[in-house]
Amino acid sequence: MSSQPSDATPARVEHQHTDKGYVPVYTTAVVEQPWAAYTAVDHDVWTQLFERQRTLLAGRASEAFLVAQDAMGMTPDAIPKFSELNNILQRTTGWTLVGVEGLLPELTFFDHLANRRFPVTWWIRKPEQLDYLAEPDLFHDLFGHVPLLMNPVFADYMAAYGRGGVKAHGIGPEALVNLTRLYWYTVEFGLIRDADGLRIYGSGIVSSKGESIYSLESPAPNRIGFDLERIMRTRYRIDTYQKTYFVIDSFEQLMQATEPDFRPIYARLADEPSHPAGTVLESDRVFHRGTGEGWAGDADF
Ligand code: PHE
Ligand code: CO
């Protein structure tokens, strides 16, 4: 398969210098998915990634994820049309997919979620990026995030998270850091105890070949029971596999644990130090204590 550049190119507006280096800044507007502009190469990237992940995820992804993905009618045949997925999604849980150019400013993102709109990056990675790319693309967003929006409990959790985000944004940057860690360790990198054992539900894992295996089977990372405040205090890795995964018993547990007002929690945590990503605490419910083998020694966020 040749890797000629796609006709479909995202509109990067400029690069902005931040504490994380130069990052692309995209328009924050909602854009129409330019479906007709996808090339044969784009569709083929979708097909390859879809088939590879579905094979890997049998027996690894949570039952809820696999059932939801099938129910949506996502197939490996071609890049799905947001408009078609929206028909079923709107009827099932009231969510709507909206096309975006890439990562959004936090408040814009929270506002979408609070209103049951899920922003999906419309462009897909190049064939030479099948295994890794640094920013979310269509495969991560659509294959990874969207299926569980069909699940009524998870769908409610995501909207509640959006409202919580708007609120945390009004409280201050430290509250936002705490809340973002919750998103990271649940929505992006969460594990769940299914009837048949430990399974994946986090989007960052289900959309990654390497991490779908690593998160469940490697002896290196910690696997620790979900604990809201513990998670809010825990730093994370953005450039390597996680050092710690947090395990929920059910989406209902997630919903219940996050129902209380977070204000007093944010206030309490403001005076507490954060934990490094790989730390195991006395108070942890440890399912697996990681060996730490192969961990990068540099700092985590
Ligand atoms: N209960 C949280 C608050 O008061 C909001 C929230 C709900 C955050 C669900 C995350 C997930 O801020
Ligand atoms: Co994501």
- Mutate which of 153, 156, 167, 176 to test ligand 1's pocket (most atoms within 8 Å of Cβ)? 167
Instruction: Tell me the H-state helices in 141-250.
Output: 152-171, 173-183, 203-206, 209-217, 228-232
Ligand 2 centroid–CA 12 distance in Å is 19
List per-block mean pLDDT (blocks of 10 residues) for the chain, which spans 301 residues: 44 51 67 96 98 98 96 96 98 97 92 98 96 92 98 98 98 96 98 96 97 97 98 92 97 97 97 94 97 80 60
Ligand that comes closest to the CA of residue 153? 1
* Angstrom distance (rounded) from CA 295 to CA 24: 28
Ligand 1 centroid–CA 161 distance in Å is 5
What is 98-167 written as a DSSP string? EEESS---HHHHHHHHHTTEEEEE-----GGGSS--SS--HIIIIIIISGGGGSHHHHHHHHHHHHHHHH
Give me the pLDDT at residue 295, please: 84
- Which atom of ligand 1 lies nearest, measured to the CA of 183? 10
| CA-closest residue to ligand 1 atom 4 | 261
Q: Work out the number of other CB atoms within 10 angstroms of the CB of residue 221.
A: 26
Those residues with Cβ within 8 angstroms of residue 220's Cβ, 6 or more apart along the chain or in another chain: 214, 241, 243, 290, 291, 292, 293, 294, 295
Ligand 2 centroid–CA 98 distance in Å is 15
Q: Which residues form the pocket of ligand 1, taking CB atoms under 6 Å from any ligand atom?
A: 160-161, 164, 167, 182, 258-262
Give me the pLDDT at residue 215, please: 98
What pTM was computed for the model? 0.91
* Angstrom distance (rounded) from CA 61 to CA 274: 30
Give me the pLDDT at residue 41, please: 97
